[in-house]
Structure 1
């Protein structure tokens, strides 16, 4: 099978017509088994075009993008029942990777577009905000009963790419990275008599 390499995002539009052994085709910059064999007159029936955009989307989904680290306040794995517990992450910056597709340099950029906070009691909330440390309380949850819960944070990435130094193009799909669970103990504050 013959692969056509195109410099305009994988869509070959500037074909030059040719005729090889009586069969009509087009002149292409052709790679066979990964080797550039130059400009060749290829019959239309034997050509498999490389759709670079599809390859980029496939690579975007294949790459292991990082999970976001969940921070819980109060710290040290304990919170109070009927108390606003604060959740946030400091991971909010875009993540960039450079890869090679069809012998072209492609830059992928993953942007955190949504955060899903799982509170471990059967409830969760999705936010475009990564939350913020105290005293800002962007993402909070109040537990109604004591016990141990496993809390976690999933992050949804939107993506964009550019070929070489070209314009950034949005990737139409998103992907979600599941964060590791961490234990949180919900306790009750009890009054204590202090003698002086």
Structure 2
């Protein structure tokens, strides 16, 4: 349903009721239920029912929609149990329904915000030759190492949003190595490695002290209430701590 169709849903229905032994025409308020558009969810499900990736991501490209993607049911307020729920349609404009703004819903914007607040692991570097000292023209090997602090690709962080268990899993996109002399390697899928098989190497042409580092670009995935994993739009680039590499020259000398 469009925004206009959603906003135009009635707040009441006119029906004949009996009051004092007489039939009268009366306006009866309508009660709405908006469970998430996920398999198995129905109008009787409290708090929107189970959440799923298709409901959370289904509205992210719909203009001006806050989501999530929901089913719309309604019934006259004066009906007694069991009520006859009427299915109206599906919408991304939950807040435009009568009373919709009063019903908090888990949205993709909430999940993206939570993902951005993830304490991502900051990538570090292991360097060979060791002790951060190398020679001019000698290939120097760089390898990414993960610290224990923070969430690295594949590690799962769980939180609760609007009564739902939301799990967030950083994913790996690429690395970018900087060698401090204007050269670098990346974006690359490689994490480098140790001598002699590491594929991130650099030979310095001049002696000196150079600041080196690596940054990682993360993507993300999420799932709600143990459902299927779905992608989070966007990326985050996290720079690791820098190090100093000293590049030396060597001199041949004859000894008598």
TM range (shorter): 0.7 to 0.9
Structure showing the higher strand proportion among its residues: 1
1:98-145 per-position Cα deviation (integer Å, ceiling 9, x unaligned): 111111111111122211101111222211011111111310111111
The equivalent position to 1:109 in structure 2, one of 158, 166, 169, is 169
Q: 2 CA distance for matches of 1:99 and 1:65?
A: 15
Q: 2 CA distance for matches of 1:178 and 1:94?
A: 18
The equivalent position to 2:145 in structure 1, one of 90, 107, 120, is 90
Note the 1:1-196 alignment, pairs <5 A: 5-6=47-48, 7-8=50-51, 9-10=55-56, 11-18=68-75, 44-48=97-101, 50-91=105-146, 94-126=154-186, 127-195=188-256
Q: 2 CA distance for matches of 1:191 and 1:45?
A: 86
Q: TM-score, normalised by structure 2?
A: 0.61
1:16-65 per-position Cα deviation (integer Å, ceiling 9, x unaligned): 22457xxxxx99xxxxxxxxxxxxxx982542363522211111111120
Q: TM-score, normalised by structure 1?
A: 0.78
CA contact (8 A) 1:70 1:153 kept: yes
Gaps of 5+ in 1: 21-25, 28-41
Structure 1 vs Structure 2 CA RMSD: 2.6
SS in structure 2 opposite 1:189?
coil
Q: 1 CA distance for matches of 2:96 and 2:76?
A: 8
Q: 2 CA distance for matches of 1:123 and 1:45?
A: 59
Q: 2 CA distance for matches of 1:176 and 1:43?
A: 36
1:139-193 per-position Cα deviation (integer Å, ceiling 9, x unaligned): 0111111111110110111111111211010112111111111111111111132
Q: 2 CA distance for matches of 1:43 and 1:19?
A: 19
Number of corresponding residues: 174
Superposition misfits of 4+ residues, deviation over 6 angstroms: none
CA contact (8 A) 1:108 1:161 kept: yes
Q: 1 CA distance for matches of 2:255 and 2:158?
A: 63
SS in structure 2 opposite 1:192?
coil
Q: 2 CA distance for matches of 1:12 and 1:160?
A: 18
Q: CA deviation at 1:95?
A: 2.2
CA contact (8 A) 1:149 1:185 kept: yes
Q: 1 CA distance for matches of 2:105 and 2:247?
A: 55
SS in structure 2 opposite 1:76?
helix
Gaps of 5+ in 2: 1-33, 35-46, 57-67, 78-84, 87-94, 147-151
